[in-house]
């Protein structure tokens, strides 16, 4: 690797980015911890070193390393996290997303489990289609037994993922897809009804155009067994579509992808059909393919005076130059990466797919004084992404002249469109940038800002209010900035009802929940029209949204040409409903007394449950009052004082919650699914820990199939690493403070 130049400028790292760098990216060895400058030079020099393989390159190695370094150090472009973490290291696995096939045999299924574990260990996420598996109760010819179906094997993949730490830094993330015409589709749609099930998976239903046409015509459609092609039954399409809508309304799961539309844009159809995507849905891939991603920070390309005569105030020339360098960077990543499987390496080098995307779009809009939820905002999105797409393809064509097109290049596919030859089968993807955007100090992906300011916990219980810099600049310019106002914005979460603020300010500085769902979808569609792959985006809905609202969004996504869509109704998982559609009643929890904690009667009655845990046999006593759980006592024999103390502490805290009027479903929601070091199998799943075992008893006794939900309530759920509130955007729960992501 090239030595670090002495005249290399230091990157300007904000305190928040420093925390994330220290926690997730900066490498530590016997000589200490690398600096942000070291990190960016490590990555830049590793990518530039690949240039020497190509004699036609216009760059010298150190010159290109400096160019790549400047892109990152000036926060104009960042590659995906595995590249930042692993470039120039012995691991050397630089791709973020992979797709693995799941065949219809025990050998193929468990090969996929093994390969997924290898990918997760190296820092990647995986996508699977379970559509090839024969349906539940089908005859297995080789053994004479019956198949258990896709959902049962999905559970095995989820359990395996639970045991693997991704590259030592993050939990593995998966996408599971099942075609809508698979006979087990109803079971799959309902797979996440039970809170905590499949917590390492995003699930999506693969919709076909035949199905959507049947929905439109209120017709039936065939459910086909994939192993023999026989029609197992016929379903009314609208019933399935309505079930999808209902589950999305209740919990946001599963999402939907439009498989036929994805395959119409498949640049290498001769190599097979695309069946799945990466974990957040923005990267459709063939089996054994991988893709490396990177994002340009659009906020860095707004001219200082914001608006010029006859233009919108964007530095198009600087953006063009950055796009060309970024495409070269990502193509070099393919050569530099060490893939976990040789078959993946072969597929990647055959097609050389890259995914250049954007972040900081909401910040760009703020700087240009353009509302997100406006036709002007949609037009700007189209103009910017069309420019990225056009220049990205031009850069890929330049590389094809230097280095040759991707080996599987098919002249007939691209020439028919008057395009190519290209170095890369795909060039653009709009991926999640939750952690990258924290490093760059910008808004995430193409999402609107989730909050104009928020409170961060710091040492000794102190709090720090962080404000979006462009919002702060606008307030300062109008003489309105004050700490009191910021506290009010943190409390309200929006400025839309602050009528003392100028209307022009309120019009521009909108947040995710200020924006009507249709504008979310229209923005996604605008970017999709100029993106080779797909767009990671969440359509945020208010808690008051109806099932019809979601039905309309799904239908609009289909009509507007989106390749998939994820919706999330604010707080939906805190009010789970039964299949009858009856919502939780506000008055069905015991009311606390004036003191907040109900006094204990002299005599209470209850039961004691014996449970085998990974730390020994636990005896859980649950005493009741008025038919409701009132207190619990957890004891574990012969486990040592530390385990006994923990069990007692958990029991006391659960008792305090119950006696304070907290409903049992919310207690279960908070402690169910907490992982431990020694999980044990039960007949219908696993007990992960002592709190998970307590939740299992309470759920079986008192909820009777009802769904606990408080653990996933966006308004209450906090980051397990830093304690800040999580937000749902780009198809995943993420922490805006430290970069933690439920999707890896």
pLDDT at residue 709, rounded to an integer: 41
Q: Is 482 exposed, middle or buried (0-12, 13-18, 19+ CB in 10 A)?
A: exposed
Cα atoms found within 13 Å of the Cα of residue 472, Cβ hemisphere only: 11
3-state SS, one letter per residue, for 690-714 = HHHHHHHHHHHHHHCCCCCCHHHCC
pLDDT at residue 140, rounded to an integer: 84
292 catalytically annotated: no
Catalytic residue among 86, 174, 200, 278: 278
Cα atoms found within 13 Å of the Cα of residue 624, Cβ hemisphere only: 11
Q: What is the DSSP letter of 601?
A: P
pLDDT at residue 648, rounded to an integer: 87
Catalytic residue among 282, 447, 699, 730: 282
Do the beta carbons of residue 385 and residue 392 sit within 8 Å? Answer: no
pLDDT at residue 464, rounded to an integer: 64
Q: Helices marked H in 572-628 — which ranges? A: none
Task: Count how many residues are written for the chain.
Answer: 744
What's the rounded mean pLDDT across residues 345-373?
A: 97
Q: Which of the pair, 520 or 704, is modelled with greater confidence?
A: 520
Match 């007939």 to its residue by tokens: 412
pLDDT at residue 110, rounded to an integer: 96
Cα–Cα distance, 553 to 517 (Å, whole number):
7
pLDDT tier, 19 (very low <50, low <70, confident <90, very high otherwise): confident
pLDDT tier, 591 (very low <50, low <70, confident <90, very high otherwise): very low
pLDDT above 50: residue 592: no
pTM over 0.95: no
pLDDT above 50: residue 581: no
Decide: helix, strand or coil at residue 244. Answer: helix
Cα–Cα distance, 575 to 666 (Å, whole number):
10
pLDDT at residue 739, rounded to an integer: 75
pLDDT at residue 167, rounded to an integer: 44
Q: Which of the pair, 684 or 12, is modelled with greater confidence?
A: 12
Percent of the chain with pLDDT over 70: 88
Question: Minimal CA–CA distance to 377: which of 255, 518, 269?
Answer: 518
- Write out the two tokens for 132: 């090839």
pLDDT at residue 266, rounded to an integer: 96
Rg (CA), the chain: 26
- Give the torsion through C-alpha atoms of 50, 54, 60, 63, to 10 deg: -40
Cα–Cα distance, 174 to 167 (Å, whole number):
15
Match 């997924």 to its residue by tokens: 116
3-state SS, one letter per residue, for 348-381 = HHHHCCEEEEEECHHHHHHHHCCCCCCHHHHHHH
Give the tens place of pLDDT for each residue, 605-626: 888 888 888 888 888 999 988 7
What CA–CA distances, in Å, run from 721 to 22, 393, 584, 725, 739? 14, 40, 31, 11, 9
- Give the torsion through C-alpha atoms of 579, 581, 585, 590, to 10 deg: -10
pLDDT at residue 191, rounded to an integer: 94
Give the tens place of pLDDT for each residue, 689-722: 889 889 888 988 888 655 444 333 333 466 766 6
Q: What angle do CA 194, 200, 205 make, to 5 degrees?
A: 70
Q: What is the DSSP letter of 302?
A: B
209 catalytically annotated: no
Question: Minimal CA–CA distance to 209: which of 197, 198, 221?
Answer: 221
Looking at domain 15-93+278-435, which of 3.30.420.40, 3.40.50.300, 3.40.1030.10, 3.20.70.20 is its CATH number? 3.20.70.20
Cα–Cα distance, 408 to 385 (Å, whole number):
26
pLDDT at residue 616, rounded to an integer: 83
Question: Minimal CA–CA distance to 275: which of 119, 130, 173?
Answer: 130
Phi, psi of 741 (to 5 degrees): -140, 135
Cα–Cα distance, 228 to 240 (Å, whole number):
23
280 catalytically annotated: yes
pLDDT at residue 744, rounded to an integer: 62
3-state SS, one letter per residue, for 117-146 = HHHHHHCCEEEEECCCCCCCCCECCCCCCE
Cα–Cα distance, 257 to 176 (Å, whole number):
11
Give the tens place of pLDDT for each residue, 280-332: 999 999 999 998 999 999 999 999 875 544 557 999 999 999 999 999 999 99
pLDDT tier, 579 (very low <50, low <70, confident <90, very high otherwise): very low
Question: Minimal CA–CA distance to 543: which of 570, 513, 516, 512?
Answer: 570
Question: Minimal CA–CA distance to 360: which of 473, 212, 469, 505?
Answer: 469
Cα–Cα distance, 59 to 403 (Å, whole number):
13
Give the tens place of pLDDT for each residue, 453-501: 877 655 445 566 788 999 999 999 999 999 889 888 887 878 999 999 9
Give the tens place of pLDDT for each residue, 521-568: 999 999 999 999 999 999 999 888 999 999 999 999 999 999 999 999
Question: Minimal CA–CA distance to 268: which of 428, 394, 97, 409?
Answer: 409
pLDDT at residue 194, rounded to an integer: 76
pLDDT at residue 700, rounded to an integer: 83
What's the rounded mean pLDDT across residues 165-175?
A: 64
Decide: helix, strand or coil at residue 57. Answer: coil
Give the tens place of pLDDT for each residue, 82-121: 999 999 999 999 998 899 999 999 999 999 999 999 998 8
pLDDT above 90: residue 436: yes
Percent of the chain with pLDDT over 90: 62
pLDDT at residue 715, rounded to an integer: 39
pLDDT at residue 646, rounded to an integer: 84
Phi/psi zone of residue 739: left (φ > 0), alpha (ψ -120 to 50 degrees), beta?
left
Q: Which residues pair with 355 in a beta bridge?
A: 293
Match 């050389």 to its residue by tokens: 352
Catalytic residue among 97, 280, 719, 735: 280
Question: Minimal CA–CA distance to 179: which of 266, 97, 260?
Answer: 260
Decide: helix, strand or coil at residue 32. Answer: strand
pLDDT above 80: residue 683: no
User: Which secondary-structure segment (H or E) carries 43?
Assistant: helix 36-49
pLDDT at residue 639, rounded to an integer: 53
Count CB neighbours of 51 within 10 A.
20
Mean pLDDT of the chain: 88
pLDDT above 70: residue 195: no
Match 């805290």 to its residue by tokens: 653
pLDDT above 80: residue 686: no
Question: Minimal CA–CA distance to 407: which of 278, 267, 263, 276?
Answer: 267
User: Which secondary-structure segment (H or E) carries 590?
Assistant: none
Match 């029209």 to its residue by tokens: 529
Per-residue burial over 686-704, b if 16 or more Cβ lie within 10 Å, else e, is bbbbbbbbbbbbbbeebbe
Phi, psi of 606 (to 5 degrees): -170, -150
pLDDT tier, 578 (very low <50, low <70, confident <90, very high otherwise): very low
What's the rounded mean pLDDT across residues 156-180?
A: 79
**Of the ranges 172-181, 412-421, 635-644, 705-714, which one carries the lowest mean pLDDT score?**
705-714
**Of the ranges 321-325, 384-388, 440-444, 693-697, which one carries the lowest mean pLDDT score?**
693-697
């Amino acid at each position: 690797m090239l030595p670090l130049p002495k005249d290399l400028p230091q990157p300007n790292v904000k305190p928040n980015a420093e925390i994330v760098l220290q926690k997730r990216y900066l490498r530590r060895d016997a000589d200490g911890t690398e600096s942000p400058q070291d990190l960016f030079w490590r990555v830049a020099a590793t990518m530039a070193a690949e240039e020497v393989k190509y004699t036609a390159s216009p760059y010298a190695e150190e010159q290109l390393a400096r160019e790549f370094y400047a892109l990152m150090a000036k926060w104009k472009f960042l590659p995906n996290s595995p590249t930042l973490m692993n470039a120039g290291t012995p691991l050397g696995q630089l791709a973020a997303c992979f797709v693995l096939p799941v065949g219809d045999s025990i050998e193929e299924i468990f090969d996929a489990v093994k390969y997924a574990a290898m990918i997760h260990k190296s820092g990647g996420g995986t996508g699977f289609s379970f559509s090839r598996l024969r349906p539940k109760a089908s005859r297995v010819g080789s053994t004479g037994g019956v198949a258990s179906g896709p959902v049962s094997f999905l559970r095995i993949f989820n359990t395996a993922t639970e045991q693997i730490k991704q590259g030592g830094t993050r939990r593995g993330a998966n996408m599971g897809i099942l075609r809508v015409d698979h006979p087990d589709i109803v079971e799959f749609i309902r797979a996440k009804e039970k809170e905590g099930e499949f917590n390492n998976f995003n699930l999506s239903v693969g919709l076909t155009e035949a199905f959507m046409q049947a929905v439109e015509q209120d017709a039936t459609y065939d459910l086909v067994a994939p192993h023999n092609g026989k029609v197992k039954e016929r379903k009314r399409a609208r019933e399935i579509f309505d079930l999808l809508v209902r589950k999305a309304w209740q919990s946001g799961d599963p999402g939907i992808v439009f498989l036929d539309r994805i395959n119409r844009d498949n640049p290498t159809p001769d190599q097979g059909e695309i069946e799945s995507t990466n974990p957040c849905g923005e990267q459709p891939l063939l089996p054994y393919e991988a893709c490396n991603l990177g994002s340009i920070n659009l906020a860095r390309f707004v001219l200082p005076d914001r608006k010029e005569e006859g233009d919108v105030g964007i530095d198009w020339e600087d953006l063009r130059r950055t796009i060309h360098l970024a495409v070269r960077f990502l193509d070099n990543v393919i050569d530099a990466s060490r893939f976990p499987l040789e078959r993946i390496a072969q597929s990647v080098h055959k097609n050389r797919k890259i995914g250049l995307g954007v972040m900081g779009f909401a910040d760009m809009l703020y700087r240009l004084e353009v509302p997100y939820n406006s036709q002007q905002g949609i037009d700007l999105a189209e103009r910017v992404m069309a420019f990225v797409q056009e220049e990205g393809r031009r850069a890929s064509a330049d590389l094809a002249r230097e280095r040759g097109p991707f080996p599987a290049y098919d002249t007939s596919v691209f020439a028919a469109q008057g395009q190519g030859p290209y170095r890369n089968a795909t060039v653009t993807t709009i991926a999640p940038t939750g952690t990258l955007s924290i490093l760059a100090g910008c808004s995430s992906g193409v999402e609107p800002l989730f909050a104009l300011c928020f409170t961060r916990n710091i040492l000794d219980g102190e709090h720090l209010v962080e404000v979006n810099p462009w919002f702060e600049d606008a307030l300062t310019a109008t003489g309105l900035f004050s700490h009191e106002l910021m506290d009010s914005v943190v409390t309200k979460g929006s400025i839309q009802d602050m009528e003392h603020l100028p209307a022009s300010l309120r019009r521009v500085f909108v947040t995710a929940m200020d924006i009507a769902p249709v504008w979310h979808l229209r923005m996604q569609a605008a970017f999709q029209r100029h993106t080779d792959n797909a767009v990671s985006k969440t359509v945020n809905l208010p808690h008051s949204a109806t099932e019809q609202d979601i039905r309309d969004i799904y239908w609009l996504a289909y009509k507007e040409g989106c390749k998939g869509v994820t919706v999330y109704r604010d707080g939906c998982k805190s009010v789970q409903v039964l299949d009858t559609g009856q919502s939780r009643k506000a008055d069905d929890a015991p009311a606390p007394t004036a003191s907040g904690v109900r006094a204990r009667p002299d005599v209470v009655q209850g039961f004691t449950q014996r449970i085998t845990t990974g730390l020994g046999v636990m005896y859980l006593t649950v005493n009741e009052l008025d038919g409701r759980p009132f207190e619990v006592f957890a004891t574990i024999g012969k486990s040592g004082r530390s385990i006994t103390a923990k069990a007692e502490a958990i029991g006391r805290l659960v008792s305090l919650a119950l006696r304070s009027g907290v409903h049992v479903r919310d207690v279960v929601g908070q402690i169910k699914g907490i992982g431990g070091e020694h999980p044990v199998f039960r007949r219908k799943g696993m007990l992960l820990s002592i709190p998970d075992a307590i939740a299992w008893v309470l759920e079986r006794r008192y909820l009777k199939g009802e769904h606990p939900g408080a653990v996933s309530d966006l308004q209450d759920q906090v980051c397990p690493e830093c304690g800040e509130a999580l937000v749902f955007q780009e198809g995943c729960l993420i922490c805006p403070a430290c970069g933690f992501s439920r999707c890896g």
